[in-house]
Amino acid sequence: MDKMEKILSDVREKFNFDTVALTDVECSRCHSIKWKYNIGSTNDRWRKIELRSGKGLPGIVMKTGKSLVVDAIERIEMDGGVFQYPMIKIERLESFIAMPLWNDTEEVIGIVLLGNRQSRHFLQKEYEEIKEYVERHLRQQILKELIANEGS
Amino acid sequence: MKEANLIGLLEAMFHQSKEMILFVNGDGEIVYMNAHASRTLDDTDYDKSQFQHICSHCQGMYVGEGRIECNNCYLHMEEKVTFQVYMRTRDGSVEPFIANFQRIDPEEGISVFTLNPLSEQLKTQEMEHQKRLTQRIIQAQEDERKRISRDLHDGVTQELLNVLLEMRLFKYIEDHDALTEKMQKSEESLSRLLDYVRNISVELRPASLDDLGLEAALKTHFKWVERQYGMTVECHLDMHNKRFNPEVETVVYRIIQEAIFNAAKYADVETVEVDLHEIEDISGHSLNFEIRDGGLGFDLNSHPLGTGLGLFGMNERVSSVNGNVTIDSAPGNGTTVSGSIPL
């Protein structure tokens, strides 16, 4: 288990998520976005997914630059149906937080998806805690890796 | 009541009834039919010395959603009550009837088949259904436009605006290296935008279908499906890039596309198999297709989870080129869509 996987697993356990996924941060300005990690997945379908920029959950989060918090999928009207968001469909998520991660020059470098297979009510305080934890651990690790790779 | 009396009455009923009563044996041959039946049904094609077969009158059963099919024939059932069949009538038209079919002599395999003209009320129902279907088609068309419009607005317009703003700032940048870097970013944005627009047009209608043919277009589409839904399409196409009539190519492409979408939406599987073969033998020349998934499956008689327009569209498309399509599925047993188009 590499360091990133460890952090993602920690987030998953600490905040009781079923799955925690992260996009491939090496390619934040590419034409398409892939998921690089998905801790707690039940199958390997997510590895095949490669959405063109602007599509799916990463698309929305990147465009708005804001977190998307959904308590219960059935209660919201999603543009084009859940079908437009393959990760939700494949992992059978019922609730999730999709959060953008920024670098220091105000670019979104990655999206982290924190999902549950039951509906779940997120309190503001809880969300802030998760966000703070993710930024302190996950974001720092991503930046560290990006810098390390740039050097090599 | 005396038995003799009952037989007399039954006989009178059989001969005088305004209901068509037919007795059919296990092979579907008509043993007897009453006067009203022989007055109504078309018998011009028959050699009177031979047995008449029910299948030469029957044009299929109504299975809902405006479709008529000849599957699960009532002839093979013990009993089927109140269903809708289409029969050829003497005036040359095909009319709907409400039918009952019941085996009354299991030893000889004789069944009684009664037919009543479809009431006005049911005809109205059918019209209402047609109206609803039209509304749904219009709605689907509007949704599609909304999607395209949003794609253009959110994707293309936004990105263009970004690049425009970036470029406006160029003239204020003094430092050469900084300018080069900004220009590179704009270039990236433009190239991404180009890709985006290309994708929109491919999703609407793949140019490769017109230029390179069915096989190339399908293979491109399968790759797209894999990236979009994480579902692999295992295809067995052996057409050696042969080209067909453009109408046939479009129909086959859209049917396979629809079947795969359905699998991605409802089957919950990692792979789908697609077979496409050109068959040429004594029985004819046709293009046969089959799309199989080993997924969840569904009850064919249940209410569709989606709009139901997809399956309807498949039928409509295939009948426009005189082909046929059948859908076979059961809960837990996966779904198979297969059919053929004459060439």
Mean pLDDT per segment of 10 residues, for chain A of length 152 residues? 87 91 76 87 88 82 87 72 80 91 85 91 91 89 84 59
Does the CB of B229 have a partner CB in chain A at under 8 Å?
A: yes
Beta-carbon contacts of residue B52 (< 8 Å; ≥ 6 apart): B29, B30, B43, B46
Instruction: Please give the Cα distance from B223 to B228 (Å, whole number).
Output: 9
CATH number of the domain located at residue range(s) A3-145 in this protein: 3.30.450.40
Q: What is the pLDDT of residue B119?
A: 67
| Cβ within 8 Å, pair A53-B232 | no
- Residue B108: CB atoms within 10 A of its CB come to 12
- Prediction ipTM score: 0.81
Pairing state between β B94-105 and B79-88 = antiparallel
The pLDDT score that the predictor gives to residue B233 is 93
Question: E-strand spans in chain B?
Answer: 20-24, 29-33, 52-53, 58-62, 68-69, 79-88, 94-105, 110-117, 232-237, 271-281, 284-293, 324-329, 335-342
Q: Which of A144, A142, A149 is nearest to A25 (CA)?
A: A142
CA nearest to B292, candidates B322, B340, B333, B238: B333
pLDDT in tens, B102-125: 888 888 888 898 888 876 667 777
DSSP 3-state of B24: strand
Give the closest residue to B192 by CA, choosing from A51, A31, A24.
Answer: A31
Tokens 């129902």 locate to: B125
CB A12 within 8 A of CB A6: no
Both tokens assigned to B230: 């994480």
Whether B147 sits inside 8 A of A80 (CB atoms) is: yes
Task: Give chain B's mean pLDDT.
Answer: 84
Amino acid A100: pLDDT? 92
Q: Do A52 and B195 touch (CB under 8 A)?
A: yes
B332 φψ region: left (φ > 0), alpha (ψ -120 to 50), beta (else): left
Q: Smallest Cβ distance to B270: which of A43, A80, A89?
A: A43
Distance CA A32, CA B70 (A): 47
- Residues of A near B (Cβ–Cβ under 8 Å) read 29, 31-32, 43-54, 63, 79-80, 83, 86, 89-90
Q: Would you tell me how many other CB atoms lie within 10 Å of the CB of residue B11?
A: 10
pLDDT at B210: 83
Residue-wise pLDDT tens digits, B38-47: 888 876 665 5
Q: For position A96, what pLDDT does the model report? A: 92
For A43, B207, B219, the CA distances from B211, given in Å and listed in that order, are 37, 6, 14
Q: How far apart are CA B265 and CA B298, in angstroms?
A: 12
Do residue A49 and residue B229 have CB atoms under 8 angstroms apart?
Answer: yes
**Which regions in chain B score pLDDT beneath 50?**
none
* Residue A25 pLDDT: 74
Helices B214-229 and B246-262: crossing angle, nearest 10°?
A: 20
B295, B335 Cβ separation under 8 angstroms:
yes
Q: Which residues contact B118 (CB under 8 A, 6 or more apart)?
A: B84, B95, B96, B97, B98
* pLDDT reported for residue A27: 66
B15 φ, ψ (degrees, to nearest 5): -80, -35
CB contact under 8 A, A48 and B155: no
Q: Specify the pLDDT at position B234.
A: 93
